[in-house]
């Protein structure tokens, strides 16, 4: 589906070797102010959806961790209004997909999910958190991607034909530097291509 071959190398094993510190799900709260900057100053609107990508383990304890993630999100659904689904893509990666028209609740729910994996000692299985936006005038999508292995965010602006709009990505990097922990090594700005135009990386 949405991931290129080699994701494990880029966001997984290689990033784990090069990681400067253990990933901290609290970093996700940086998006609480970033989405305001994206909308008010840069003209990007949140698409009210985000997702966690993780690599599964064939064990009962990992299944229990995923079950607890689902239970926590289900318990919070009434309070936050955050809908969710758990899916697996064609490459064998798993996703927790969340949607909420309140970005604060979306970020909080994503944090709860990620923190649950960490509490179950499966934080190393978390690969990325993805936040979706759309440019007001053009309708073009952009994403902020958080690499758990690197502990940093980077922008991704996919275009048709599997092209990237580097000028948009550099503009977003400059605008959000200071609000988000930005990945300085561009080699880790790994593209999470959607399977088709008009879809998200997890679809």
Asked if pLDDT for residue 2 goes beyond 50, the answer is no
Give backbone dihedrals phi and psi of 47, rounded to 5 degrees, phi first: -90, 10
Calpha distance 198→196 (Å, rounded): 6
Question: Could you give all domains of the chain from N- to C-terminal order, each with its CATH number?
Answer: 7-188 (3.30.70.1130)
Share of the chain above pLDDT 90, in %: 68
Considering the chain, what is the average pLDDT of its residues?
87
Q: In which band, very low, low, confident or very high, does the pLDDT at 14 lie, cut at 50, 70 and 90?
A: low
* Widest distance between CA atoms in the chain: 48
- Pair of tokens at residue 119: 């509490």
Confidence of residue 23 (pLDDT cuts 50, 70, 90): low
Q: Tell me: the pLDDT tens digits for 29-66? A: 999 999 999 999 999 999 999 999 998 888 999 999 99
């Amino acid at each position: 589906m949405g991931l290129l071959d080699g994701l494990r190398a880029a966001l997984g094993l290689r990033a784990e070797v090069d990681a400067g510190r253990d990933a901290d799900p609290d970093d996700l709260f940086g998006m609480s102010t970033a989405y305001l900057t994206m909308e008010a100053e840069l003209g990007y609107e949140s698409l009210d959806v985000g997702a966690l990508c993780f690599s599964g383990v064939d064990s009962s304890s990992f299944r229990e961790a995923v079950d607890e993630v689902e239970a926590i999100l289900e318990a919070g659904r009434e309070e936050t209004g955050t809908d969710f689904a758990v899916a697996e893509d064609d490459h064998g990666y798993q996703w927790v997909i969340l949607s909420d028209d309140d970005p604060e609740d979306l970020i909080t729910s994503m944090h709860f999910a990620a923190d649950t994996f960490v509490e179950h000692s499966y934080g190393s299985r978390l690969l990325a958190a993805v936040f979706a936006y759309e440019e007001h005038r053009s309708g073009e999508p952009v994403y902020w991607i958080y690499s758990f292995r690197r502990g940093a965010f980077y922008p991704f602006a996919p275009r048709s034909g599997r092209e990237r709009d580097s000028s948009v990505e550099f503009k977003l990097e400059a605008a959000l530097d200071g609000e988000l922990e930005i990945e300085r090594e561009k080699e880790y700005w790994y593209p999470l291509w959607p399977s088709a135009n008009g879809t998200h990386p997890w679809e």
